[in-house]
Amino acid sequence: MTRLTLSDDGAALTVRLAANPGGGEAVDLLRYVYRPTDVQLESPRPYFHPLRTVGGDLVSLFRPHDHVWHKGIAWSLPNVGPHNFWGGPTYVRGQDYVQLDNDGSMVHEGFTAERADDDGVSVTESLVWVTQAGERVVKEVRSFTVSLADPDASATEAPDLATSAPAEAGTSPSEAAPGPAWVLTFQTTMTNISSGPLPIGSPTTNGRENAGYGGLFWRGPRSFTGGTILAPGFAGGEEIRGQRAPWVGFTGTHDETARQSTLVMVDSSDNPRGPSSPGLDPEWFARNEWFACVCAAPAFSEEIPFAPEESLIFRYAVVIADGGADAEGGAALAQIGSAALATRGSLAGRRG
């Protein structure tokens, strides 16, 4: 019996984990909203929310009052040339944040493939990015997969992600160990169909220090505020922001149940980087003080060129587990994510 099923209500896809005959209730692991109803200021774009663990705990937040354009997990870029596909105001050098008429939309055009079988769920989607002024500037082919984690995946031939520690990493060991997990892989192929270059940047490339967000962005539950950020050899706080690492994770505690959950995001080593950092791990935007978030930020401190007719391909894995984790447990989950990326092949990078 296929344990993961896929359903479509005309505005969103839902991936459901069937009840385990040996115990455990059915749970909707994710809902992928491909026809959002957001106002233009929030840069309407598809997003994953709600996201739940195998045990049913909610690990995402939708439209938080402090940043209403944060939506679960979403591919979100604040600086694509002069356009904003993140939502809200744009950071302008010398002026701070300014609400401009530049909040674009990522518009669903159709699904080209949908599959649910014993191997999991796989979806491929076609989108077009439209500026607030109505210009079509980017064509995108997006795909994602959902699969249950193989508990032996961390012992496969995937790259060793436990040993590449970010600079000045600290440790905060705990007895926490993650439990059952599932994996979301995400791939996007973006093609510049405009008449000019669309360099991909961030508030930091525009002058704001250590605020290089933009990319695959996760916003965690409100109760995760004050949780633990994880990275290779590291379990701590926001000192990891702006550091380079192959993966970053987050462990937080839920209200009501006091249970913990862990999310780990894994970068593909062949994702595009800025001209001066080929082959390096990405910088990360992660917070735990004001709110919980993790973002692999490929243009954190340096713009990525994006010429007319050029294609950029990015790939990531997100592992969501019941239970808390320390640095070692986070590394084990990262190995699972890396193994999932390896099964999809090496496709990230540039295409002229």
User: Which domain range does residue 178 map to?
Assistant: 4-351
Give yes or no for a contact between 174 and 331, defined as CB atoms under 8 angstroms apart. Answer: no
Q: CA 165, CA 169: separation in Å to the nearest integer?
A: 7
Work out the number of other CB atoms within 10 angstroms of the CB of residue 255.
11
Total-model pTM: 0.92
Phi/psi for 223 (5° steps) reads -70, -10
Q: What residue has token string 């007719």?
A: 309
- Mean residue pLDDT across the chain: 92
Total number of domains in the chain: 1
| 106, 76 Cβ separation under 8 angstroms | no
Q: pLDDT of 220-242, one tens digit each?
A: 999 999 999 999 999 999 999 99
Kindly state the tokens that stand for 253.
Answer: 């505690």
Q: Reduced to 3 states, what is the DSSP secondary structure of residue 77?
A: strand
For residue range 77-93, list pLDDT tens digits in order.
999 999 999 999 999 99
In this structure, what token pair is assigned to residue 136?
A: 């079509």
Q: Do residues 74 and 45 make contact, with C-beta atoms less than 8 angstroms apart? A: yes
Domain of residue 170, CATH code: 2.70.98
Is 178:337 a contact under the CB 8 Å cutoff?
Answer: no
What pLDDT band is residue 167 in, cutting at 50, 70 and 90?
Answer: very low
